[in-house]
């Protein structure tokens, strides 16, 4: 059988599984319509916002287009980093831990077919979200620069290798990691990946120093600033080549050398990956099947935690203990905490790096007020993303073990309630930590401090409830990796829903605080925020979060009962 035929045979069941996700045809149609409707709303939003921003950027004399190109390069670099990391984690599942691998290994399938099929699977599952974002971004550039229809081909020509390279490199990296680490030490592997992510993020942040880009004064001269803008930020990275191709395409020119460089790199990395796979996969796969340490010893910390829950009803306590135990014993789950820690550090660092105290003009004062206020929006976004990652999969993770809960005398409300508290307590703690730290760094006035703390508690609870409910409505029982569950359609819908409710809270609070916000504008007398404004803002937040949270939990409860 030819490699191509085997390749399509191996991918066939995966494609059909994706197509048939959803129990009935009506279910599937409903989901498809919902996704199309939400996509139709999200894409124009990203497109229009970016086009407007780019046009205003292009209005800056001499350096406008340079700024836009540099922004594109930064975006591509960020995409490349995210893609590399998610491909490394995805490859661990698709190349080594997938349930169908032992059966496939018993058949006379060619190694190259298997490699190409798994590479495609890794690439698609790791890249589709980035690709969804890339489309309106590139379209916005085309719109702002008035690029011709040929740009479509150029953009696709730059995007394809940008997705292939991290997939092939990530898969090869995973293969080498499994080769280096003895037995099934996926725990160690993911720890290394997590630490690499930390190092990579810090490195990217420190090398780019994005704050300098928007602050020309920090350069010694205008010439220095322009030189920094013109020079590629990372000339040896494929993201820069892809950005160069797109930038040239926007100016209706083509640089064949960059095209050659990007595509030959994609082909080269894939070929190298195939050679490595051919040489190492068999041995690595065997090693990945070897047993790990399975004996569990209860540490003093665990015993303390268990005794903290001693006062709870036995059903709730056992449900919470089970969720916490399975979380911390599942490498794909807890290893995400490392990335979360990096996120917090980067977030607080960015807040510190903002030139808040530098502003003495009226505009700076207004911006300062706005940043203080928008911190809540950013924290809300981070909390929603974390709820999506950790709370949304909670129901899906019950998967094939759901029979145990279903056949026992535990009501759906009790199951949801225990999952709610297991998610809400750490999420709220983290959100409070983030808010309090950033508020201290930003020097937020006491009234706004109180508002943001109150809001973030309400939002954390509401997002937990919403994530749980979306997870019940769109479970992914067949997933082999908890980290992949949030990338499902249900995860996407949760994020859109959570951001919509965050948007309502933000607009509501902006309305309540309008007097204070406007007082920062030029020509107005600055004034402090009034307690009544904070009370109204908090009331709006409470109303929105309580309503969305309660409706979500009640709907999930009804769904669980109706699905018997």
Nearer to other proteins, 56 or 286 (CB): 286
| Single residue of 2, 19, 24, 214 touching other proteins by CB under 8 A | 24
**Residue reference for tokens 């599937």:** 28
Residues 175, 281 contacting (CB under 8 angstroms):
yes
Q: Is 223 in the site for other proteins (CB under 8 A)?
A: no
Alpha-carbon Rg for the chain in angstroms: 25
How far does Cα 16 stand from its chain's mean position? Answer: 26
Nearer to other proteins, 295 or 304 (CB): 295
Judged by CB under 8 A, the stretch of 32-40, 245-253, 291-299, 359-367 that binds other proteins is 291-299
| Single residue of 55, 315, 365, 559 touching other proteins by CB under 8 A | 315
In angstroms, the CA 277 to CA 4 distance is 17
CB atoms within 10 A of CB 328: 12
CB atoms within 10 A of CB 73: 23
In angstroms, the CA 431 to CA 438 distance is 11
| Single residue of 99, 220, 294, 304 touching other proteins by CB under 8 A | 294
For the chain, how many residues are written? Answer: 564
Whole-number Cα distances in Å, 347 to 31, 278, 279, 379, 381? 34, 42, 42, 9, 12
In angstroms, the CA 356 to CA 532 distance is 26
Q: How far is the CB of 488 from other proteins (least distance, A)?
A: 21
Q: How far is the CB of 328 from other proteins (least distance, A)?
A: 9
| Single residue of 217, 403, 522, 525 touching other proteins by CB under 8 A | 403
Q: Is 297 in the site for other proteins (CB under 8 A)?
A: yes
In angstroms, the CA 296 to CA 305 distance is 16
Burial 446-478 (b: 16+ CB within 10 A, else e): ebbbbbbbbbbbbbbbbbbbbbbbbbbbbbbee
Q: Is 307 in the site for other proteins (CB under 8 A)?
A: no
In angstroms, the CA 554 to CA 533 distance is 32
Nearer to other proteins, 231 or 409 (CB): 409
Count of residues that interact with other proteins, criterion CB under 8 A: 30
| Single residue of 346, 367, 405, 450 touching other proteins by CB under 8 A | 405
Q: How far is the CB of 183 from other proteins (least distance, A)?
A: 13
In angstroms, the CA 564 to CA 302 distance is 35
Structure tokens at 370: 């706005």
| Single residue of 34, 46, 208, 321 touching other proteins by CB under 8 A | 321
Nearer to other proteins, 269 or 415 (CB): 415
| Single residue of 103, 214, 223, 296 touching other proteins by CB under 8 A | 296
Residues 47, 140 contacting (CB under 8 angstroms):
yes
Torsion angle defined by CA atoms of residues 42, 48, 50 and 54, in that order, rounded to the nearest 10 degrees: 170
Q: How far is the CB of 540 from other proteins (least distance, A)?
A: 39
Residues 55, 137 contacting (CB under 8 angstroms):
no
Q: How far is the CB of 418 from other proteins (least distance, A)?
A: 11
Binding mask 136-175 for other proteins (x = CB under 8 A): ----------------------------------------
Q: How far is the CB of 168 from other proteins (least distance, A)?
A: 31
Nearer to other proteins, 220 or 295 (CB): 295
Q: How far is the CB of 324 from other proteins (least distance, A)?
A: 11
Nearest to 441 by CA among 366, 320, 522, 348: 348
Judged by CB under 8 A, the stretch of 10-18, 61-69, 122-130, 318-326 that binds other proteins is 318-326
Residue 382 contacts by C-beta under 8 Å, 6 or more apart in sequence? 343, 347, 431, 434
| Single residue of 196, 343, 410, 453 touching other proteins by CB under 8 A | 410
Nearer to other proteins, 27 or 215 (CB): 27
Nearer to other proteins, 24 or 106 (CB): 24
Q: Which residues bind other proteins (CB under 8 A)?
A: 24, 291, 294-297, 314-315, 317-319, 321-322, 325-326, 329-330, 399-401, 403-411, 564
């Amino acid at each position: 059988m030819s490699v191509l035929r085997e390749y399509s045979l191996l991918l066939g069941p995966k494609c059909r599984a994706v197509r048939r996700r959803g129990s009935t045809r009506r279910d599937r149609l409903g989901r498809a319509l919902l996704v199309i409707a939400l996509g139709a709303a999200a894409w124009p939003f990203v497109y229009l916002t970016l086009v407007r921003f780019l046009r205003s950027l292009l209005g800056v004399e001499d350096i406008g287009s340079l700024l836009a190109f540099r922004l594109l390069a930064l975006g591509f670099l960020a995409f490349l980093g995210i893609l590399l990391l998610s491909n490394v984690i995805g490859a661990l599942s698709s190349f080594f831990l997938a349930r169908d691998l032992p059966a496939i290994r018993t058949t006379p399938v060619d190694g190259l077919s298997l490699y190409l099929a798994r590479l495609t699977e890794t690439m698609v599952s790791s890249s589709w979200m980035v690709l969804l974002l890339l489309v309106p971004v590139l379209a916005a550039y085309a719109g702002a620069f008035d690029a011709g229809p040929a740009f479509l081909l150029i953009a696709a020509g730059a995007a394809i290798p940008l997705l292939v390279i991290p997939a092939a490199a990530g898969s090869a990296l995973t293969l080498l990691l499994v080769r280096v680490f003895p037995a099934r030490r996926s725990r160690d592997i993911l720890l290394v990946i997590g630490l690499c992510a930390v190092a990579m993020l810090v490195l990217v942040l420190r090398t780019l120093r994005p704050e300098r880009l928007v602050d020309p004064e920090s350069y010694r001269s205008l010439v220095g600033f322009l030189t920094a803008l013109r020079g590629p930020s990372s000339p040896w990275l494929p993201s820069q080549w892809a950005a160069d191709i797109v930038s040239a395409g926007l100016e209706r020119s083509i640089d064949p050398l960059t095209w050659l460089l990007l595509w030959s790199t994609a082909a080269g990395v894939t070929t190298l990956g195939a050679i490595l796979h051919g040489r190492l996969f068999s041995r690595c796969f065997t090693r990945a099947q070897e047993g790990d340490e399975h004996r569990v010893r209860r540490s003093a910390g665990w015993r303390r935690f268990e005794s903290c829950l001693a006062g709870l009803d036995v059903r709730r306590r056992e449900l919470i203990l089970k969720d916490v135990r399975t979380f911390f014993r599942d490498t794909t789950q807890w290893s995400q905490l490392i990335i979360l820690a990096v996120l917090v550090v980067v977030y607080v660092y960015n807040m510190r790096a903002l030139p808040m105290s530098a502003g003495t003009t009226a505009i700076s004062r207004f911006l300062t007020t706005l940043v203080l206020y928008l911190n809540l929006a950013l924290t809300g976004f981070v909390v929603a993303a974390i709820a999506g990652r950790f709370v949304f999969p909670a129901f899906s993770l019950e998967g094939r073990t759901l029979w145990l809960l279903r056949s026992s005398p535990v009501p759906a409300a009790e199951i949801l309630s225990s999952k709610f508290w297991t998610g809400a307590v750490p999420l709220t703690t983290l959100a409070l930590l983030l808010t309090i730290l950033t508020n201290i760094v930003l020097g937020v006035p006491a009234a706004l401090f109180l508002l943001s703390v109150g809001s973030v508690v309400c939002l954390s609870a509401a997002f937990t409830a919403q994530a749980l409910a979306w997870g019940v409505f769109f479970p992914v029982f067949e997933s082999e990796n908890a980290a992949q569950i949030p990338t499902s359609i249900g995860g996407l819908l949760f994020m859109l829903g959570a951001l919509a409710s965050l948007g309502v809270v933000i607009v509501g609070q902006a309305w309540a605080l309008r007097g204070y916000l406007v007082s920062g504008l030029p020509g107005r007398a600055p004034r402090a925020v009034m307690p009544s404004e904070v009370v109204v803002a908090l009331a709006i937040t409470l109303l929105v979060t309580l309503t969305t949270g309660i409706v979500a939990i009640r709907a999930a409860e009804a769904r669980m009962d109706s699905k018997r």
